[in-house]
Amino acid sequence: MTPRDDSAPNDGRNGRGDDGRWSDLDRPPLNATALRRALVRDGGFWTDVELVPRTGSTNTDLVALAADGKAEEGAVLVAEEQDAGRGRLERQWTAPARSGLFFSVLLKPAEIPVERWGWLPLLAGVATATALSRTAGVDTALKWPNDLLLTVGGEERKVGGILAERAGNDGVVIGIGINVTLREDELPVPTATSLALAGSPVTDRDPLLRTVLRSLERWYVDWRAAGGDPAASRLQETYAAGCATLGRTVRAELPGDRSLVGEAVAVDGDGRLVLATEDGVQQPIGAGDIVHLRAE
């Protein structure tokens, strides 16, 4: 894989107003060689790990590399900083350099029916949430479809998110962003948080990244071995168990400026959220923004 080489120095956006990769000693840089040595191995799934100091979006870059035939399945692209990161529904976001994990992976599940590929972002959510709960020591939940939530001061806050994009006819790029050491005055919105603000005893990004990628490898390999079947791979069951949306009254903000209120009662075999509305209808939701409503 030949990623974009953007080696421009930090321009003060790390919140400290100075530059250089060691300018914020609370946020040491990742070591690409060590990551490669730990993750790329004979018989393993990950084929390459590349680290860039800054880019617009790791998803955009990896999709382009895949289109040009310069990345194969199992490629991982990590950035120390993104200045044009994209979330679901085309939301834009940025974060200070080295304050989180910003990375994308290339998957090519060619033998899996395309209609089951919609489970991949949910799979990434399960893999990431279970890895963070285990390694960072924080109880991580999922908001449908794949926002990562932590409870801080009795309030649910978003610590990370996942974005899936098609890469040509045979690939999917999964982008993952996790706030690790973001400080209160650096939060993009009041509903965000970071592992540090949630009291995690582990804010070293190296073991966090390794654990997330190993968890993602395990879930993806098992899902693929099951033919993409979310039940046989236990993906559907595990997702439902960790989904903070189920059992809640929610508002689904749908395409076309429509909305629907109901109780989230299930995640169906296609990964859709099923809402039970007041008129007794069970409505599956495949796309949209979900708002958790407070109980009256």
| 32-240 matches 246-292 in fold | no
**Residue 138, token pair as written in the block:** 């924080």
CATH number of 246-292: 2.30.30.100
Q: What angle do CA 57, 45, 166 make, to 5 degrees?
A: 40
Domain ranges of the chain: 32-240, 246-292
Per-residue pLDDT in tens (0 to 9) along the chain, 296 residues:
755 443 333 333 333 344 455 456 789 999 999 999 999 999 999 999 999 999 999 999 999 999 999 999 999 999 999 986 555 545 566 789 999 999 999 999 999 999 999 999 999 999 999 999 999 999 999 999 999 999 999 999 999 999 999 999 999 999 999 999 999 999 999 999 999 999 999 999 999 999 999 999 999 999 999 999 999 999 999 999 999 999 999 999 998 899 999 999 999 999 999 999 999 899 999 988 999 998 65
Which class for 185: exposed (0-12), middle (13-18), buried (19 or more C-beta within 10 A)?
A: exposed
Residue type (1 letter), 230:
P
CATH number of 32-240: 3.30.930.10
- The DSSP secondary-structure symbol of 243 reads B
Task: List Cα–Cα distances, 103 to 61, 118, 217, in angstroms.
Answer: 11, 20, 14
- In 3D space, the residue among 94, 80, 76 whose CA is nearest the CA of residue 28 turns out to be 80
Residue 177 CA to residue 159 CA, distance in Å, equals 8
Residue 176 CA to residue 101 CA, distance in Å, equals 8
